[in-house]
A = this chain, B = another copy of it.
Amino acid sequence: MAKPFNRILITGAAGDLGGKLREGLAPLANHLRLADRMPIPDLQAHEEGLTFDLSDEAATIGATRDVDAIVHFGGASRERVWNDVLDSTIRGSYHIYEGARKHGVKRVIYASSIHAVGYHASDSHIDTQAPVRPDSLYGVSKCFVEALSSLYWNKFGIETACLRIVSCFPEPADRRMLGSWLSYDDCIRLVASCLTANYVGHSTIFGVSDNRAKLVDNSKAAHLGFVPQDSSEPYRAQVEATTEPLDHMAATTRHLGGWFVDLGHPDNEPGQ
């Protein structure tokens, strides 16, 4: 049976999650074009590897040629100093969208983040229409790309699904993740649902597994057809045995962004 796409571009493809995406999305396209700052290991026959920095306008735009859809997971993956955020996420994502516009790509799946809304309260059950409240420069740059993609939808007809991923890790590592965890498999289900949905337009969806405690409300994204299959529950006993209860008065407990809300300014902190 014919695959739904001929060629999908995946940015940020060299890391762990990138590896999972390569594997999980293979059934959806004849070719996967894999881009990253780092070389892509172990290229398969149906894969093309590209190594460049998203701040490189020509290279980024060039990577979008002959592509049917873009899974844009590249750019800074956590809090960084301003110049890194500016180059990789703000300028880099602009290059991606300009590439899509110039080369007629119809749909983008973007790895946004819960940190675009990290200062909302943990018990506020925001839905995907709540105003942004970023908790970091990283979060601000995600807000920028969400706004940019909204423009490219309304003005240029390029669809984007903004995935506000909460905590995508191999397994829940602490008590907060009992509510915020997105399994790798559910992440792939999420991307695949958005790639194959009848209609995306400009949609936002929280990326979270079917954990028992639910912190955010995806009801306004139900047209995307994402149905998570995993849960943090099997890991609960182990997590509770090895970690302390959260301090219910701490800002990191009371806000969706978790420990991001306690980060200082990254330009002051040389380790970042």
Contacts and interface: CB of A to CB of B under 8 A. Distances in A.
Interface residues of A, number: 76
A204 B249 CA distance: 18
Contacts of A217: 219, 222
A29 to B, nearest CB: 14
A98 B268 CA distance: 11
A94 B157 CA distance: 30
A65 interface: no
A75 interface: no
Interface string A167-200: 0000000011011000000000000010011111
What is the oligomeric copy number? Answer: 6
A125 B222 contact: yes
Nearest to A138: B151
A103 interface: no
Contacts of A240: 4, 196
A125 B223 contact: yes
Interface in A126-152: 129, 131-137, 139-140, 143-144, 146-148, 150-151
Contact of A199 (B133, B199, B254, B265): B254
Given A131-B129, A179-B198, A137 B123 contact: no
27 contacts: A1-B237, A4-B240, A86-B90, A101-B265, A116-B147, A119-B151, A123-B199, A123-B201, A125-B220, A135-B155, A143-B143, A143-B147, A144-B144, A147-B147, A157-B248, A159-B248, A178-B198, A179-B223, A198-B245, A198-B253, A199-B246, A199-B254, A213-B222, A213-B225, A214-B223, A215-B223, A219-B219
